[in-house]
Structure 1
């Protein structure tokens, strides 16, 4: 008789696994792109303020009216960033929760927390710096196909690590820069705070790009595992006939 070398019984995926919403993924990606564009414009406006304040010469080379206009535009840009960030966060968390529910059906044993933490983890102070990352790591592992040749289970999570490191760094640095900007008194302090704000905006742009990549990759992995099974596309080796 003929057969295959992979004689392990393959568990069936649960029936009726819901597909992750393409609408949520597209909306989250689009809003992240818009947020990134607003950050890029903020960097441009910050650079203008930086050049207007010419070191120690200050108002000697920067007319008061130009500085006032630049400050006003910078404040307006900041308000726009906050306005755009809120719907982006809501849609992204909605997608995050949907993916937690879907990947939980694929591999419930990969999760130590219930699906509600995919929302609550973002809302609890201090916890929000760690819990969403743990949920993301569990989702990534649940969506990763199991090895079909007896090798140890490994899930490369570098997209999760890069996204979360950039997100936390940009969040903390933006808070620090905002504090410095609000407390700035002289032109030199304003210039330094604006420079820090520009760095925070650049980090946020990088975090938005990493978030889009993470979301697209995880969604693709979840769909692939749901359609092809927990072991993915296995390569079978024939054994000798008897």
Structure 2
């Protein structure tokens, strides 16, 4: 009996649109930074609540300390939010690139808008949402119509928190009395709560979209 040589191992080929190992690491970093953004937003809510409580009582040295804490909370937000947004946008662009290979007919705009849409004023209030909707549809299994509530929830919280935060910043800068300060801080607190919710929703969106992409790339477009 003649021995049959073992077949040569086949070279590894990556499936079109499959999740890259580097993208998985990037996703983990995104989720960690988004969690940090949510925590700093909640810390700012706590600091704002302290100011409101003290302005209702007898203002004094404790109020000065509350203002200092509030300013530190704002500085901490900036330190975490900037890198968090940068890393999230990088992940967003790379996800759009990979999904463009997986489902090229699912997108209404070129992949450059996944990056440029965040950078253009006013356009950044709706273009990233449009790209996100297309990505969600591209990753969803056929033939059923996907539910877009995770995208809608994330974007609604994000836009609401952004616009309310800008309005609260202008009110806070123009405040001349404790009453006006209290009102501006209350608006800031509402914006921070929306931003914290947006960070959590963005993490869920990223995790769910990646899972859908992985399933579709490995099991095919009709995977349940």
Flag whether TM exceeds 0.5 (same fold): yes
1:203 aligns with 2:200: no
2:158: which partner in 1?
A: 167
Greater relative contact order (CA < 8 Å, ≥ 6 in sequence): 1
1:240: which partner in 2?
A: none
1:238: which partner in 2?
A: none
1:178: which partner in 2?
A: 169
2:80: which partner in 1?
A: 84
- CA deviations 1:116-136 (Å, max 9, x no partner) are 111100000000001000100
SS at match of 2:142: coil
1:15 and 1:220 mapped to 2: Cα distance? 15
1:187 aligns with 2:178: yes
Count of matched residue positions in the alignment of Structure 1 and Structure 2: 209
Provide runs of 4+ in structure 1 moved above 2 Å: 14-18
2:25 and 2:110 mapped to 1: Cα distance? 24
* 2:214 alignment partner, one of 213, 220, 223: 223
- TM-aligned CA deviation for residue 16 of structure 1: 4.3
SS at match of 1:53: helix
1:17: which partner in 2?
A: 17
- TM-aligned CA deviation for residue 18 of structure 1: 4.2
TM-score (norm 1): 0.83
2:177 and 2:220 mapped to 1: Cα distance? 63
- What does residue range 87-106 of structure 1 map to in structure 2 within 5 Å? 87-106=83-102
2:149: which partner in 1?
A: 158
1:112 and 1:158 mapped to 2: Cα distance? 20
2:79 and 2:200 mapped to 1: Cα distance? 19
1:15 and 1:187 mapped to 2: Cα distance? 61
- CA deviations 1:189-210 (Å, max 9, x no partner) are 0011111111111111111111
